[in-house]
Chains A and B, each alone.
Chain A
Amino acid sequence: MELFRALAVLAEPPTEETGRVAEALGLGARPCAEEYAELFVFELYPYASVYVGREGMLGGEAGDRVGGFWRALGQVPPVEADHLSVMLALYARLCELEEEGGNEALRAGWRGARRAFLWEHLLSWLPVYLVKLAEVAPPFYRRWGEVLLKALLAEIEVAGRQESLPLHLREAGGLVDPRAGEGDFWQALLTPARSGMILTRADLRRAGRALGCGVRMGERKFVLKSLAAQNARGTFDWLTEEAAAWEKRHRSFEQTLGAVADAWAAKAKDAGRLLGDLKQEASKVI
C-alpha cells in the first residue's frame, strides 16, 4: 500500500522531495531538518529494537528478530531492518505482494506474512511510540503520527487478528528489583519493553522542572540517576506517577490491540508497583 511507503519516507531526514510526499499526504509544508533531528535523533529514536528489545538499545536480539523476518521471506535483510522507514516500506511491499498474488493460495500466503509482520513487528510497539510522539512532536510530525496510527489500526480489520502475544513482548521480561542486587535497574526503567514506559529526554527535563532539580547533561540514565541523587523520594514519586499514566494510556488500546495492550499495561502496572515499594527505601536504592 503506497500510503505506508509515503509515511515511511517521512521518518527519514527531510529533503526537497519530502515536500512532494508531504503534500500528497496533505500534511502541509515539509518540516525543517532541525525539527526532524529534535524528534528522531534526540527524543524518539525510530528503531523497533529500542522499544521491544530487552536492553532498550539499538540492535541485539530484537533487531535480529526483525532481520529474521526478511530471512524467512528468503530476502537479505537490509542494514537497519528495524528502522521505522524500512519496516513501513516492507509492510507496503507485503501489501502489494498480496494484491499481486496470482491465485488465492498465494494471496493467502502473503496475507499471512502481512498479518504476522503487522502484529509481531509493528503493532507490538508503534501505537505506544506514536502516543508518545503525539505528546512531544512538532505539529507536522504530530499530524504524520496521527495518520500513521490511524492507518495501522485500520490494518487490523484488513489483515486480521493474531491470537498469540508478539515474541518481542514475551521475551522482554520486566524490571529488576535493585534490592536483589542484580541487573541494571536504571537501564531497565529506560527500557520500554521492561518498564512499560517510554521516558524521553523531554520527560526527564519535565521531571527536573517538577522536582526543582538540575538536569545534568548526559545520557538518559545519567540524567535520571542524577535526578534521584538530588531528590530520591521525589524522583520515585514522579516515576510512580509516570507508570500509572502509562498504564492508563495502554488501557486505552484494549479494545483494538487486545493482548498487546494488556501486556504493555501489565508492565507499566508492575513497574508502578515496584517503584511504589522502592519509594520507601528510595535513598538506599540510589
Chain B
Amino acid sequence: MNLNELNQRVSAARAETEARGETFYPGPSRIHLAAFPPKERWDDWVELDSRAWPERRERRYMLVPTTCFNCESACGLLAYVDRESLQVQKFEGNPEHPGSRGRNCAKGPATLNQVTDPDRILYPLKRAGKRGEGKWVRVSWDEALNDIAARIRTAIEEDRHNEVMYHVGRPGEDGFTERILAAWGVDGHNSHTNVCSSSARAGYQYWMGLDRPSPDHANARVILLISSHLETGHYFNPHAQRVIEGKAQGAKLIVFDTRLSNTATHADIFVSPYPGSEAAILLSVANHLIQNGLYNREFVRRWWNWEEYMTVERPELETSFENFERALKELYQSYTFEYAASESGVDARAIEEIARAVSTAGTRFSSHNWRSAAAGNSGGWMVARTLFMLNALLGAVATPGGVFPNAWNKFVPKPIYTPPHPPRWNELTWPREYPLAMNELSFLLPHFLKEGRGKLAVYFTRVYNPVWTNPDGFSWVEVLRDESLIGCFVALTPTWNETSYFADYILPMGHGSERHDLHSYETHDAQWIGFRQPVLRAARERTGVRVSDTRLVNPGEVWEENEFWLELTWRIDPMGDLGIRQFAESLKHAGERLSVDEYYEYIFENSVPGLKERAAEEGLTPLAFMRRYGAFEVKKKVGAVYEEAVPEDELVDTRVDGFGRVYTRAPKPASPNIVPISSPDPDAEGRRLVGVKFDDHIARGFPTPSGRLEFYSRTLADWGWHKESTPTYIKSHVHPDNLSEGQTVLISTFRLPVQIHTRSANAKWLDEIAHTNPLWIHPRHAAELGVKTGELVRVETEIGYFVVRAWVTEGIRPGVVACSHHMGRWKLTEEGQRQLMATVSLDQQGDRWGLKRRKGVAPYESTDPDTTRIWWTDVGVHQNLTFPVHPDPVSGQHCWHQAVRVRRADTGDRYGDIDVDVNLAHEVYRRWLQLARPADTHSPDRTRRPYWLLRPLKPAREYFRLPEEEELVSAD
C-alpha cells in the first residue's frame, strides 16, 4: 500500500469512528491535547489501582462530573466512582468545562479529603446545654425542620419578617436561596461581601454599572494585577491559567503587591507600594496617558459621560470635548511620577516604566483588583476605580485582551419560579448610615443588635463562620450567646467551625460532590453554566436506580440545600395559606413538593439557549446531558455589548435627552438570562433607559444612569461625596499621616493558595502543605525590633493584641508586617476538626476577653490511617479577633489593614495568646460610624439608597423611601 492510500485509509477510519460519537485517538495522549479519558468511555473507565502496585489490578470507574465548591470560580471536577463499591476514588478535572478546561488547583482534588474526613458532621445536632457549652444531641431532620419552620411561620404571621436572616459566606450558586427568601417575603439576605470585595465592586460599579470585572488575560498585551489573583488568592484558577497563557504569548505582567506574592514572582515588573498608595500610582499612570495624548481619544469621546461632567461641574466652559480634555489635564496634572513615588515609596523611574508599558497595550490591557488594596484601606474602592480608569482611557473595555463587565460573561438561567421582591426593608443589613454600601453591613450585625436596633428570631449561617472570619469576633460570641438577641441560631455546615459551637442546631450540608447547585462565572469572554450534582446519586441513576432524596446516597444523614430549602419552605406553609408554598410546589404534580429533578429539568429545557439541541444530538434530555457532562457553554465571544444597536422593536415613543440618553416606552424584552444588572432610573414620564444615541445608530450602552462609562458619578456627587465623584486618591486610614509614633501597618488580607476559608480544616493534603501563619517582617525591621525567625512577637492593635512567631523575610516592604488570615483555627473542646484546629480556652472578665491555646494538633486514631501521621502541631494564630470594625463610609467594606505596634513578646506571653477589650472595639465602631453620611441627611430624594445600584433581594421600589415620620422630624 502506498503512502497516499494509507493516509486515506487512516482518515476514513477516523471519520467512521467519530461518526459513531467515539474518539479515534486515545487518551490520555498528546495528540489533540486529549489528556483526558474519552467521553464515550465515562461509563466504564479502566485504570490500574495505584495502591496495588506492582500488581497490575484493574479498577473500573464511572466518571461523573460535578462542580468544585472550594472557591467561587466553579471549576469542573470529574469524580471517579468505583463501579463495585460505588464510592468516589478520586477527583480530577472535567475537560468538558469551558472555564477550567480540565485543569484544577490543589483544592479541587482535595474534595476527596472533605468527603472522607473522619471528623465531619454526619447528623443533625441540637444543643443540649447552654449555648457554647459543647453539649449536643442527635436529632432527626423532621424534628429540626418542624421547629425551625414553626419559628419562621410565627415570625411571618406576626409581621416580624425582619427577624429572619440568612447569612452566607460562599454562595456557590446563582440566586436559589435568594429566591427562597423572596418566596417567604423576607428581606433577610446577609452576605459576607463587605468583609471581602465590596470596595473593589464599588470601584467598578461607579464606572460601568456592573460590579465585577471579567478580564481577558489570555489575549492581553499588558496585564496589570493589584495584590491579585493568580496563586496569591485562594481562588480563580481559570484566571490564573489564562494569565499564564497571556504571558506565554508575550504579554507583559505588572504586579503591585506589598508582599512578594506568588503572582509577583511571575511578574515582568513588580513593585511593592506602601499599603493604600496604589491609587496614587495608578493616577500617575493615567496622568502620563492624559498629558501625553496616549489615550484612546475616540473611545473617551464616545463612551465617557464627559458632557454630563462638563455641564454640571464646569458650567463656565463651553461643553466641548476639547475643553473636557483640557479639564482632564488640569484635574490630574498634580499626579506626577514623583508625587506617586513620595506616597508609595516606589522609585519614580519604576512607575514611569509601568506607565510606558501600559501605554503600549492599546485595547489589549487586562487588569484586575479584588481584595487587599481595595479591601484593606478606607477609600480602597478608589483603587479599583482608578485601575479601571486606565482601561477606560485605553478603550480596553470588552475588547479582546481587555476587561469585560462580569454580567456580560455570565449566564443565570431563569428558574421555574421567580418570587416578587420582598415588600419591606431590613435595616439590620441595610442601615441608613450607609446608603451607598455595595452589600449588607454584615460585620456590624453584633453592634447593631447590642445597640437595640433589632433582634432575630431565626438566624442561619451557611458556609460562613463570622466568629472566625469577621473582625471583632468576641462581639459575635457575645451576641450569639444571648438568646434574647438571637432566638434560634441554625448553622448549616458540613464541618465544625468556631461559630457553630454557639448554634442551637447544626445541620450537615453536603460538600461539592454531595449537592445540587447551578453556577456560572466570568472566567473569560463567554457565557457558561456549571452543574454541581451529588455524584453518587448521579452514578446510581446511571445504573438504573432512581434516587428521590439526596440523603439516601450521602454519608450519614448529610443533605443538600436545594432539597432542604424546598422542604423547609413547604413546612412553613404546608396548607398554602401564606402564599409561600406555591414557590415550592411541583408544576407537574399539583399538591406535591417540587423535586430537584423537576427544578433543573425546567431550567435546562426552557432557559438555556442551545442546550436542548445539543443534548438531542447525543440522544439525551437536557437534564441527562448536564448530569453527564456537568457544564454547557451558552455563548462564545460575547464582545462589546455596549456598541450593539438597539433593535427597532425596543424603540417605542422614544425620547432623547440632552446627553444623548434614549428612553423608550417599550417594555424590557424577556430574557432567559436573569443575571443581575443595574437598573437606571426611568425618565420623568416613566420611559426606561434603553441606549445612547450616536450619529449613526442607537447603541446599547452601559447600565449606568448616563448610559455611558461614568468618569463622573452624579450618584456620588448627589449623595454627599462630591469630591469623590471623579476618580481620585483617598488617603487610607493607615496612611503615614494617620499613624502615631511607633505604629506600623499590618496586612492581614492575603491567603494561602491551597487553603479554603472554613471548610478545609480537615483537607489533609492541603493541611500538610499550609498550616500556619507567621508574621512577615523585613530583616531591617526585624533588626530594629531585635527579633529573629521563630521568635515570639506581640502585635498590638487598637483593641488588644495577639502573639505570633516572626518570619524574617525580604519578601515584604521594610516597615510593613503581614500575617495571613487563613490560619489560627480553634475549637473549645476535643470535638471538632482535629487536623487544623488548636484546642483553646476562652476567658471573659467583663469587657475583656482572652483566648489561650491549650493544645496544638497531634496525630490521632481514626478511620483514616493518615491521621496517625500528622507531623505538625502549629496551626497559626487567630489575629482577626484583635481587629475592630472599620466600615468604609462609601462602600461599606470593612477596611482590613491595621495600624499596629510590633514588639518582642513579654516573658509571660505564649504563642497564640489573644487579648481584646470589647468595649474599646465598640468605641472604634462608634468612631467609624461618625464618618458615614447617612441617607437621612444626605439623600437627595428621601430614599434610602439610589435605586439603580445593585442590591441582593432588591425590595420593591416603594420600600426605598425613607419612613414618613422621619421626614416630619427632619422638617421640624
Q: Which residues on the B side are within 8 Å of A85 (C-beta)?
A: 29-31
Interface residues on B, range: 20 to 34
Contact B29 A12 (CB under 8 A): yes
B777 to chain A minimum Cβ distance, whole angstroms, is 38
- In the complex, which residues of chain A have a beta carbon less than 8 angstroms from the beta carbon of B33? 78
Known interface pairs A76-B249, A77-B248. Does A3 touch B24 (Cβ–Cβ under 8 Å)?
no
CB distance from B534 to the nearest CB of A (A): 30
Contact of B7 among A2, A20, A78 (CB under 8 A): A2
CB-based contact B26/A76 at 8 Å: no
Is the pair B1, A26 in contact by a Cβ cutoff of 8 Å? Answer: yes
User: B724 in the interface, Cβ–Cβ < 8 Å?
Assistant: no
**Which chain B residues lie closer than 8 Å to A9 at the CB level?**
25-26, 29, 31
Tell me whether A24 and B10 are in contact in the complex, defined as CB-CB below 8 angstroms, given that A76-B245, A77-B248 are known contacts. yes
Nearest B residue to A16 by beta-carbon distance? B26
Q: Roughly how many angstroms separate A258 CA and B595 CA in the complex, as a whole number?
A: 73
A86 and B26 within 8 A (CB)? no
Chain A contacts for B24, CB-based, 8 A: 17, 20-21
Contacts of B6 in A (CB 8 A): 3, 25-26, 147
**Contacting residues, chain A, for B25 (C-beta < 8 A):** 5, 9, 17, 21
Q: Which chain A residues border B1 with CB–CB below 8 Å?
A: 26
Expressed in whole angstroms, the Cα–Cα distance for A26 and B759 within the complex equals 55
A145-177 interface bits toward B, Cβ cutoff 8 Å, 1 = contact, 0 = none: 001001100100000000000000000000000
Checking B9, B12, B30 against A86 with a beta-carbon cut-off of 8 angstroms, the contacting residue is: B30
A266 contacts B by Cβ under 8 Å: no
CB of A89 within 8 Å of the partner chain: yes
- Flag whether A6 is at the interface (Cβ < 8 A): yes
* Chain B positions within 8 Å of A3 at CB level: 3, 6-7, 10
Q: Does A8 contact B (CB under 8 A)?
A: yes
A12 touches B31 (CB 8 A): yes
Is A80 interfacial (CB 8 A cutoff)?
A: yes
Q: A5 to B11, alpha carbons, bound, how many Å?
A: 10
Give CA–CA (A71, B3) in the complex, Å.
31
A24-B9, A147-B6 known; A15-B30 Cβ under 8 A:
no
Return chain A residues, CB-CB under 8 Å to B7: 1-3
Cβ–Cβ < 8 Å partners of A86 in chain B: 30
- For residue A218, CB closer than 8 A to chain B, the reply is no
Interface set, chain B 596-643, CB cutoff 8 A to A: none
The listed residue (B13, B14, B17, B30) touching A89 by CB distance below 8 A is B30
Q: Chain B nearest CB: distance from A253 CB in Å?
A: 18
B32: interface (CB < 8 Å): yes
Give the shortest distance, in Å, between A245 (CB) and chain B (any CB): 29
Q: Does A74 contact B (CB under 8 A)?
A: yes
Name the distance in Å between B217's Cβ and chain A's nearest Cβ.
Answer: 13
Q: Pick from A8, A16, A24, A26: contact of B31, CB below 8 A.
A: A8
User: Whose C-beta in chain B lies nearest to the C-beta of A74?
Assistant: B249
Question: With an 8 A cutoff between CB atoms, is B113 at the interface?
Answer: no
* Cross-chain contact B31 with A5 (CB below 8 angstroms): yes
Decide if A230 is an interface residue (CB 8 Å cutoff): no
Return the chain A residue nearest B22 by Cβ.
A17
Q: Among residues 1 to 54 in chain B, which have CB atoms less than 8 Å away from a CB atom of chain A?
A: 1, 3, 6-7, 9-14, 17, 23-26, 29-33, 38
Query: Is A18 interfacial (CB-CB < 8 Å)?
Result: yes
What's the tally of chain A residues with a CB closer than 8 Å to chain B?
32
Contacts of A269 in B (CB 8 A): none
Bound form: Cα–Cα A20–B16 in Å: 11
Q: Dominant SS at the A interface? A: helix
Most buried by A among B9, B23, B31, B245: B31
Question: Is A83 in contact with chain B by the CB < 8 A criterion?
Answer: yes
Q: Give Cα A151–Cα B13 distance, bound, in whole angstroms.
A: 19
Cβ of A17 and Cβ of B9 under 8 Å apart?
A: no
Among residues of A, the one whose C-beta sits closest to the C-beta of B13 is: A24
Q: How far is the CA of A127 from the CA of B9 in the complex (A)?
A: 25
Are A2 and B14 closer than 8 Å at their CB atoms? Answer: yes
B209-250 Cβ-contact flags toward A at 8 Å (1 or 0): 000000000000000000000000000000000000100111
Q: Say how far A64's CB is from chain B's closest CB, in angstroms.
A: 13
Q: Once bound together, how far apart are the Cα atoms of A16 and B248, in whole Å?
A: 35
Point out which of B6, B13, B30 has the most chain A C-beta atoms below 10 A from its C-beta.
B30
Question: In whole angstroms, how far apart are the Cα atoms of A244 and B763 in the complex?
Answer: 61
A151 to B2, CA, bound (A): 10
The residue that A18 contacts in the complex, of B9, B23, B26, with Cβ under 8 A, is B26
- B512, chain A: closest CB distance, angstroms: 27
CB distance from B58 to the nearest CB of A (A): 12
Q: A6 — which chain B residues lie within 8 A by C-beta?
A: 10, 14
Instruction: Compute how far the CA of A104 lies from the CA of B743 in the bound complex, rounded to whole angstroms.
Output: 71
A77: nearest chain-B partner, CB-CB:
B248
Determine whether the beta carbon of A89 is less than 8 Å from that of B31: yes
User: Inside 8 A of A23's CB, which chain B residues have their CB?
Assistant: 13
Q: Which chain A residues border B12 with CB–CB below 8 Å?
A: 24
CA distance A76 to B29 in the complex (A): 17
Over the window 70-84 of chain A, the binary record of Cβ atoms lying under 8 Å from chain B Cβ atoms (1 yes, 0 no) is 010010111010010
List A residues 75-118 near B (Cβ within 8 Å).
Answer: 76-78, 80, 83, 85-86, 89
Interfacial residues of chain B within 248-266, with CB under 8 A of chain A in the complex: 248-250
Please give, as numbers and ranges, the residues of chain A lying within 8 Å of B249 by CB-CB distance. 71, 74, 76
Taking CB atoms, residues of chain B closer than 8 Å to A1 are 7
In whole angstroms, what is the CA distance A6 to B13 when docked?
10
Smallest Cβ-Cβ distance to A17: which chain B residue: B26
Which partner residue on chain B sits nearest A6 by CB separation? B10
Closest Cβ–Cβ distance, residue A65 to chain B (whole Å): 16
CB closest chain-B residue, reference A12: B29
Q: How many Å from the CB of A106 to the closest CB on chain B?
A: 21
A25→B7 CA distance, assembly (Å): 8
Q: Using known A-B contacts A26-B6, A154-B3, determine if residue A80 contacts B245 with beta carbons closer than 8 Å.
A: no
- 29 example contacts (A-B, Cβ-Cβ < 8 A) are as follows A2-B7, A2-B10, A2-B14, A3-B3, A3-B10, A5-B25, A9-B26, A9-B29, A9-B31, A12-B29, A16-B26, A17-B25, A17-B26, A17-B38, A20-B13, A20-B24, A21-B10, A21-B25, A25-B9, A25-B10, A26-B1, A26-B9, A71-B249, A71-B250, A77-B248, A85-B29, A85-B30, A89-B31, A154-B3
Q: 10 smallest A-B Cβ distances: which pairs? A: A17-B26, A24-B13, A3-B7, A15-B26, A2-B11, A6-B10, A76-B248, A2-B10, A85-B30, A24-B10
Binding site for B on A (CB under 8 A): 1-3, 5-6, 8-9, 12, 15-18, 20-21, 23-26, 71, 74, 76-78, 80, 83, 85-86, 89, 147, 150-151, 154
Which B residues contact A (CB, under 8 angstroms)?
Answer: 1, 3, 6-7, 9-14, 17, 23-26, 29-33, 38, 245, 248-250
- A-B contacts besides A5-B25, A12-B30, A26-B9, 20 pairs, CB < 8 Å: A3-B6, A3-B10, A5-B10, A9-B25, A9-B26, A12-B26, A15-B26, A17-B26, A20-B13, A20-B17, A21-B10, A21-B24, A24-B12, A24-B13, A25-B10, A26-B1, A71-B248, A71-B249, A89-B32, A151-B3
